Structure 1
Amino acid sequence: MSETTAAMADRPGLRILRADLISLRGHPMPPLAWPRWLRWLPHSLVCFAAALTAAASASPTAPALAIGHAAMLVLALRWPASAWWLSMAFVTGITLVYPPTRDTQIYVWMVHAGVLFLLALRVRLFSATTTTVLSTLLAVGLKASGRTVGSWTMITGALTLFALALLIGAVVRGRREDHARLTEQIAATARERALRTVLEERTRIARELHDVVAHHLSLISIQADAAPYRVQAPPAELVTEFASIRTNALEGLAELRQMLGLLRSNGPGDSTTGTSPQPSLAQLDGLLGNVRAAGLRTTARIEGTARHLPPGVELSAYRIVQEALSNVLRHAPGAEASIELSYAREALCLRVVNGPAALPAAPSPGAGHGVIGMRERVAMLGGEFAVGPTPDGGYEVSAVLPTCPVPVPTPEPAAAPPGAVAVAATVAVAVAVAEKETYA
């Protein structure tokens, strides 16, 4: 017999009822996602309805029972299951011990219907339906016993209130749960979109830096192949070492070509690659000319002595300025922009500032990821990046890009034989042509 009882207690429906209705834990009704002064409006209305019902239903014979029953509405705001059980007890006690008059009978069922509604907002549909059925059986049983004052029409009206409380409560709870799931899905989608944007931006940066790395590896392979011919009678160990350096450089180039095909592939079977050279700060004047032709008034100022920087720094600085000016054209039409480049000893500081928009900005679908790209470029170089509005209503983009000292080329040895120099030059040209054909 005990095993049968345990099996019945493990049924899903009984577990739901036990979790929802036979529990003393609080289940507060959450505030609305409205402005601050309206968030607690439903709670205030429930308290006002409880006070109004207590005043209207209190009879001279049992005012304490009427007030206590009305207080169940307030209790249901935090403990809906306990409030429903107590409301069932109050209905039974009021009806059997102090039968209400015909005028106050309806308030008893209105209070109970309100408790049912507040319960249906917080428990599952199965539990809410069970409580409605039990409340209906209680109303019909009290009427059948002859202790309830009023006609069957009044009881029918009370049952209608119970059904409406269940229906409206279930609908509101379902909409709230759907809204919560939708909000969670939107947040998850936003996180996925941000992550995908970062990965796409990093892929684009890797594609651009590929050309820079490939250029250096090509130079290493050419210099390693030509170096033995620049010295008369080089040792065999030195020739072998240079050959090993060139072999490693060519293997690195081959792996870079494979990676480039993967990064630049737009889909299955598509391995289209671009061959245009990557820009640098040397093309900054051309960029400014293009944005001025598009209607953006732009000024540029350079502080310090302009010098050659590592290709990665040059490329990142150009792309940051390009994206910042594109954002000005897109989001602040009619504004003026200024660019400041400061060449410090170990860093390049750039700053792009624009004033407030003179015209309303047109919608730009798909935009909004440029800041992510700029931040990724600066993070790749270990620099500092900041964006934000200015006091006059404009916007500012600033970045500090660390620079590594550019190695100074070693002077050519003066004692190199003329024949060795000629052979070295011929080999260097031949290797460069071969590398260009292979890379293309």
Structure 2
Amino acid sequence: MAHGALHRLRQDLFVDAFAFRPMPPLEDAKVSRWVPFLPQRLRHWMRWLPHFAVGFFSMCVFLANLTSSSEPGSVHSVLVTGFSALVAAGPMLTLFRPVGAYWLSLSAFVVSAFVYAGFSSPFASLFGGAAFATHLAVMVLVVLRTRPRLAIEMWLVTFALSAVVTALVGKDTGDLPPVAIFCGVLLVSAAAIRAWREERRQVVENRTATAEERSRRTLLEERALIARELHDVVAHHMSVIAIQAEAAPYRVKDTPPELATSFATIRENAVAALAELRRILGVVRSADPDAFAESDPEAPQPTLGSLDALLASVRSAGLTVEAVTTGAPRPLPQGVELSAYRIVQEGLSNALRHSPGAEARVEVSYVLGGLGVRIVNGPPSRLAKPSPGAGHGVLGMRERVQMLGGEMTADRTEDGGFEVAAFIPVSHTAGETRAGGKA
């Protein structure tokens, strides 16, 4: 244990003692939170407030040591000026080389002790000068800038050396224990503040990392869900292509061999694509084996035509919801209808979860060039239960809309409710072409 303690003491106070470790300015967010009323330019300079405070303290120490001596003489003035600069350099050096500042300040205190002992009463204390008060301030600044354990190490070195110096100059050691106790309490308090700040910083970092990881995991889960659903949509179309290609030669009398070969190739490629889709879907579903625990994995994906069943389900759960459809309903790509259905489903689920007792309204607008979906609910009539992972449903809805090249907004309303509005662009679809041709 003694060997380990000496090793740590050597690593902390002797190895690279004068290494360059500049103190960074305050963060902009912290300054804005403390003084939000200041202009932007002044807030920028407020980031350097700790540096200005330490510099002002060093200047005060320098001037105080200059004015403490009234003896005339050019040589004496030069010595006093040099000693004052040595004492004042300690606090300033903590901004750049904290451990080196400790040794410089300790050296100034030792020099001051020997000089003070030669020109003062035998009963005068070595700790009454400005050099020791400045050294104590330097130790506090070093602890606040480095690590808490330096408080004990610097305290031991300082007062061990103080005991030696007191014995050498023949001064009374009666005031050494109370001064040591006072400095120990002060340094331990500074170490506690430093440890609390470090712990708080780690907590903030862990929370930030946890939130980012949760958001990333939710995004990946939502993308996997979209991939599974789009597989069913694409698989349907590929199945139709394979069936049509297989049946086409039988619908044409005296089919040319070249045309039959082309249809066979189309069918083979469609079947191969279906096999690849099933293989990819197996990989995606293997990471979440319970994704379809409550539904038939072979069931068709829902569309806007299934909204009535969804509304009946949420009404049975206690949500009063009104549905309004504007424009002329028309066939849309299955991916668009599936995403619109999921957006409505998630919006109503959020209303049930976060706004109990509120009324909701669902608007589906068939407009030129796309589909508009709006889900709005009023303020809750009672307190909602805590729900972990809040906001991830909005993230999934936004991911679906961005995948289809649309736009979405989600924000609170003026009356305390919540509104989700999305627009999904739709090009001229095959369904519209067929409808137009029949008309």
Same fold (TM over 0.5): yes
Instruction: Tell me if 1:200 matches 2:217.
Output: no
Paired residues of 2:148 and 2:194 also in contact (CA < 8 A): no
The CA distance in 2 between the partners of 1:178 and 1:60, in whole Å, is: 43
Worse-matched range after superposition: 362-371 or 121-130: 121-130
The CA distance in 2 between the partners of 1:21 and 1:234, in whole Å, is: 92
The CA distance in 2 between the partners of 1:242 and 1:169, in whole Å, is: 82
Aligned-residue CA RMSD in angstroms?
A: 4.4
- Mark the CA change 1:261 to 1:392 in structure 2 (over 3 Å): closer, same or farther: same
Match of 1:183 among 171, 193, 204: 204
Instruction: Tell me if 1:84 matches 2:121.
Output: no
Paired residues of 2:90 and 2:102 also in contact (CA < 8 A): no
| Map of 1:302 onto structure 2 | 325
Paired residues of 1:384 and 1:399 also in contact (CA < 8 A): yes
Paired residues of 2:114 and 2:169 also in contact (CA < 8 A): no
How many residues are aligned here?
400
Instruction: Tell me if 1:336 matches 2:331.
Output: no
| Map of 2:302 onto structure 1 | 279
Worse-matched range after superposition: 188-197 or 244-253: 188-197
Amino acid at match of 1:157: P
% same residue? 41
Paired residues of 2:57 and 2:91 also in contact (CA < 8 A): no
Instruction: Tell me if 1:375 matches 2:384.
Output: no
| Map of 1:219 onto structure 2 | 240
- The alpha carbon displacement at 1:321 in A equals 0.6
5+ residue gaps, structure 2: 1-6, 37-45, 72-79
Paired residues of 1:46 and 1:73 also in contact (CA < 8 A): no
The CA distance in 2 between the partners of 1:153 and 1:356, in whole Å, is: 72
The one of the two structures with greater contact order (alpha-carbon pairs below 8 A, sep at least 6) is 1
The CA distance in 1 between the partners of 2:289 and 2:333, in whole Å, is: 35
Worse-matched range after superposition: 271-280 or 214-223: 271-280
- Mark the CA change 1:29 to 1:240 in structure 2 (over 3 Å): closer, same or farther: closer
Instruction: Tell me if 1:27 matches 2:23.
Output: yes
- Mark the CA change 1:29 to 1:57 in structure 2 (over 3 Å): closer, same or farther: farther
Match of 2:139 among 116, 129, 132: 116
The CA distance in 2 between the partners of 1:61 and 1:200, in whole Å, is: 75
Amino acid at match of 1:305: A
| Map of 2:428 onto structure 1 | 405
| Map of 2:263 onto structure 1 | 242
Instruction: Tell me if 1:387 matches 2:410.
Output: yes
- The alpha carbon displacement at 1:353 in A equals 1.6
Could you list the per-position Cα deviations for residues 131-183 of structure 1 after superposition, in whole angstroms to 9, with x for gaps in the alignment? 445423441232122264xx313123334445445544445434433443343
SS in 2 for 1:401: strand
- The alpha carbon displacement at 1:283 in A equals 1.0
SS in 2 for 1:351: strand
- The alpha carbon displacement at 1:117 in A equals 2.2
Worse-matched range after superposition: 285-294 or 224-233: 285-294
Could you list the per-position Cα deviations for residues 250-290 of structure 1 after superposition, in whole angstroms to 9, with x for gaps in the alignment? 11112222222222225699998712221100011221222
Paired residues of 1:28 and 1:77 also in contact (CA < 8 A): no
SS in 1 for 2:174: helix
| Map of 1:432 onto structure 2 | none
5+ residue gaps, structure 1: 1-10, 413-440
Amino acid at match of 1:216: H
Could you list the per-position Cα deviations for residues 186-237 of structure 1 after superposition, in whole angstroms to 9, with x for gaps in the alignment? 3223222211111110001111121111111111111111111111111111
Amino acid at match of 1:96: F
| Map of 1:36 onto structure 2 | 34
- Mark the CA change 1:200 to 1:61 in structure 2 (over 3 Å): closer, same or farther: same
SS in 2 for 1:363: coil
The CA distance in 2 between the partners of 1:83 and 1:37, in whole Å, is: 31
| Map of 1:154 onto structure 2 | 175
- Mark the CA change 1:140 to 1:103 in structure 2 (over 3 Å): closer, same or farther: closer
The CA distance in 1 between the partners of 2:170 and 2:89, in whole Å, is: 23
- The alpha carbon displacement at 1:301 in A equals 1.9
Amino acid at match of 1:22: F
TM-score (structure 1 length as normaliser): 0.75
Paired residues of 2:116 and 2:126 also in contact (CA < 8 A): no
- The alpha carbon displacement at 1:44 in A equals 12
| Map of 1:96 onto structure 2 | 114
Amino acid at match of 1:215: H
Amino acid at match of 1:303: T
Paired residues of 1:113 and 1:161 also in contact (CA < 8 A): no
Match of 1:143 among 166, 189, 192: 166
Paired residues of 1:72 and 1:115 also in contact (CA < 8 A): no
Amino acid at match of 2:386: P
- The alpha carbon displacement at 1:185 in A equals 3.1
The CA distance in 2 between the partners of 1:410 and 1:244, in whole Å, is: 30
- Mark the CA change 1:411 to 1:288 in structure 2 (over 3 Å): closer, same or farther: closer
Alignment of 1:353-364 (within 5 A): 353-364=376-387
Paired residues of 1:378 and 1:384 also in contact (CA < 8 A): yes
- Mark the CA change 1:236 to 1:37 in structure 2 (over 3 Å): closer, same or farther: closer
